[in-house]
Amino acid sequence: MPGQKRSGNREKGSGPGRGKGGGMNTSGLCVCPQCGKQVDHERGKPCFEKKCPSCGAVMTRGEP
Domain residue ranges in the chain: 29-62
Q: Average pLDDT by consecutive 10-residue portion of the chain (64 residues)?
A: 59 51 65 96 94 96 77
User: How many helices and strands in the chain, by DSSP H and E?
Assistant: 0, 3
The single-letter code of the amino acid at 60 is T
Global pTM exceeds 0.75? no
Q: Are strands 38-40 and 29-31 parallel, antiparallel or unpaired?
A: antiparallel
Cβ-proximal residues to 59 (8 Å cutoff; 6+ apart), any chain:
30, 31, 32, 33, 39, 47, 48, 50, 51, 52
